[in-house]
Amino acid sequence: MKRVVITGAGTINALGHSVPATLEAMREGRCGIGELEFRDVERLAIRIGGQVRGFEAEGRFNRQQMSLYDRFTQFTLTAAKEAIAQSGLEFHGELSAKAGVVLGNSGGGMQTLDENYRSVYEDGKNRVHPFVVPKLMNNAAAGHVSMQFNLKGPSFTVSTACASSNHAMAQAFQMVRSGMSPVMITGGSESMLCFGGVKAWEGLRVMSKDACRPFSANRNGMVQGEGAGVFVFEEYDHAKTRGAEILCEVIGFAMSSDAADIVMPSKQGAARAIAGALQDARVSASEVGYINAHGTGTAANDKTECAAVADVFGPHADSLMISSTKSMHGHLIGGTGAVELLACIMALRDGVIAPTIGYEEPDPECALAVVPNEAREARVEVALSNAFAFGGLNAVLALRRV
């Protein structure tokens, strides 16, 4: 089995338009959640979100590209460009033939869908743009990344709601580890912050009207975000031979299904995924120093996740640090695990643990070291990234400091 390392990272999200900007915001415990700005927002009960501000697509893409790129694709290409530039890779010849892209996404081109439903049903138009389908399909971003960077290997999109990015990165990890591909571009993206996207989530009654406060006793729901996170997963020897900078090593993953309820999480399902990731990585529970939690800020998720961590780690659960960066950038649904992986890399490389902001009141059912409100400095050797999705679909990644 090949060793797998990360040699490039890129992002755009509510905290920043690049990895350095995002990590700086995480260190400072800055909140990127604010008042939403888009058409008909006044008709919504939920009017806050982790919206990407100051993103001028017209300055990044030409007119023809704009006709093909939904906002989630624009985010993905922006993040992919940063990640591949950092890696120093160029895809030609055999590397081009074997390298591919696996991305996570849940809503597809929700902005395009919203605009065209409005055009047909509200404005009464009888025609839509001929590129509506290729613009809104979930695999659009993966297709455009493969075309722009000449990636001719395995390329596809994984859609498992809030676990999409972790599932996608797990597939990319497995492909590199097995020797199928020396390099895979992976991560995820989402852009559901439009009238139709937020209105649908309102119906679930799991959204907060004021803030995301994971693990705090007075939490009152999740807050949506948008953006993308993209990484270069590369075979270790391939990276070392070319002298690449290595950000960290991906050492294991596990997936499980609750097989219980479409929306309510299961402690047993989450615990099996966490324990499975440790087993696949061949590390003991005591070696883990940090967990980036799924941590949505809903009562059901937070207490279930903390119970699962306590079950797997036993007495060591009191020693490890666990935080939810969703409190800062919001829940990116299909793209969330990719942005959250940046916090794991920061913990491993820089020894900085991103905080859980908005924490106000201790909750006895979440009695773990949740790094409240301020970042913490600590040496971490192994980190986990949790993702638990509607449908009871769980995916956990394990990473090691290099």
Catalytic positions, written as ranges: 162, 294, 331
Phi/psi for 220 (5° steps) reads -140, 25
Measured CA to CA, the distance from residue 162 to residue 228 in angstroms comes to 13
CA angle (110 as vertex; 108, 112 as ends), nearest 5: 110
| DSSP-assigned letter for residue 355 | P
> Which residues are CB-contacts of 191 (< 8 A; sequence separation ≥ 6)?
70, 71, 72, 75, 107, 110, 111, 226, 227
Helix or strand holding residue 184 (H, E) = strand 183-190
The closest alpha carbon to 233, from 159, 155, 173, belongs to 173
The letter for the amino acid at 202 is: E
Interatomic CA distance for residues 327 and 24, integer angstroms = 15
Type of residue numbered 13: N
Q: Cα separation of 196 and 46, whole Å?
A: 12
Structure tokens at 10: 């890129």
Q: Which amino acid is at 46?
A: I
Q: What is the dihedral of CA 322, 346, 385, 253, to 10 degrees?
A: -140
